Structure 1
Amino acid sequence: MASVTFNQEEITLIGKEIRVGDPAPDFTVLSNHLDEVTLDNYKGKVKLITTVPSIDTGVCEEETIRFNKEADTIPNVQILTISMDLPFAQSRWCAANDIKKLDTLSDHRDASFGENYGMLVEELRLLARAIFVVDANNTITYVEYVNEITNHPNYEKALEAAKNA
């Protein structure tokens, strides 16, 4: 498993580490309207999936706003931001920040995404920060586990991977 820290303290990630070439594991998360969402909701699309500890914190906020702005530069790619935040909080945050070009999804109920993608932080029941690009055939084509959860991901590499998927 990737070595990940939170504020320079080692943390434990639950689940199997995902690698390039793996089939994308399915998951069940909730939309901001409390609808169940699975990988099949995005069938045939390239997906750029970001995981953040909480959308309402500095780095997570900047990351989500950045990917929302970049959405126009990667047509035919669906951007998903998944956190353990409640759908109500995500909806309110998206409205306050004019987020309309990506889907914010909540893993709070079952931690399905977190466990299936190896992102669930055991000590905090939050998701670690990572980016996954999944092609239209649901194969993982890019993975970045951010070593220190409070750091930003590599935006340029993720966007390039999504363009090339």
Structure 2
Amino acid sequence: MASITLGGNPIHTSGELPKVGSKLADFKLVKNDLSTASLADFAGSRLVLNIFPSIDTGTCATSVRKFNESASKLENTKVLCISRDLPFAQKRFCGAEGLENVVNLSDFQEGSFGKNNGLEIVDGVLAGLHSRSIIVADENGTVLYTEQVPEIANEPNYEAAIAVL
């Protein structure tokens, strides 16, 4: 269990992020068209998993915009934006913003992605949502970098995440 903060108040997650050097766990997440995506769908691509509580907050929206900009400059790299938001909200946001270099994936059905990766918030007003986290993996699914942002309202370290690629 990791301890993070929301507005300076302690909250906790369901576990710890995957260790650098480990393999990404398979997942089943919902795409904007309501079909299912799994890790196998991204085989052979480097991945930046931009994980956040909700697309409808300022910091989460900023992280999607910034990774969208970075993604367009990286070869063989996909940015997966993962939250418990409904796919409709994710699609609406990216459509309104003109963001085309990220893949939105929703964990709304079971929250299993958050639970399996130790980043589900287990207490406080955001219980059940995902903590703001970054996981970067190479084309073989090996974890190269992780960050669980200690204060949910803060942005992740974009430069560090991109630098490992």
Map residues 32-71 of structure 1 onto 2, 5 A cutoff.
Answer: 32-71=32-71
Contact 1:131/1:145, CA 8 A, preserved across alignment? yes
**Match in the other structure for 1:127:** 130
Q: Which runs of 5+ in 2 are unaligned?
A: none
- Percent identity, please: 39
The two structures have a TM-score, normalised by structure 2, of: 0.94
CA contact (8 A) 1:28 1:113 kept: yes
Paired position in structure 1 for 2:160: 157
The 3-state SS of whatever aligns with 1:14 is coil
Deviations 1:98-138 (A, max 9, x none): 11111011011011210111111112211100100111111
Structure 2 match to 1:116 = 116
1:94-105 aligned within 5 A: 94-105=94-105
Q: Which residue of the partner structure matches residue 75 of structure 1?
A: 75
Q: Distance in 2 between matches of 1:83 and 1:7?
A: 20
Q: In 2, are the aligned partners of 1:31 and 1:104 still within 8 Å (CA)?
A: yes
Amino acid at match of 2:133: A
Contact 2:6 2:152 in 1 (8 A): yes
Count the aligned residue pairs: 162
Match of 2:144 in 1: 141
Q: Distance in 1 between the 2:163 and 2:8 partners?
A: 29
TM-score, normalising length: structure 1? 0.94
Q: Is the 8 A contact 2:133 2:149 kept in 1?
A: yes
Q: Is the 8 A contact 2:136 2:161 kept in 1?
A: yes
Moved over 2 A (4+): none
CA RMSD across the alignment: 1.1
In structure 1, list runs of 5 or more residues that go unmatched. Answer: none
Q: Which letter does structure 1 place at the counterpart of 2:25?
A: P
In structure 1, C-alpha distance between the alignment counterparts of 2:94 and 2:26, rounded to whole Å: 25
**Residue 2 of structure 2 is aligned to residue 2 of structure 1:** yes
CA-to-aligned-CA distance 1:57-109 (integer Å, 9 cap, x gap): 10001110011111122111010010010001111111111111110110110
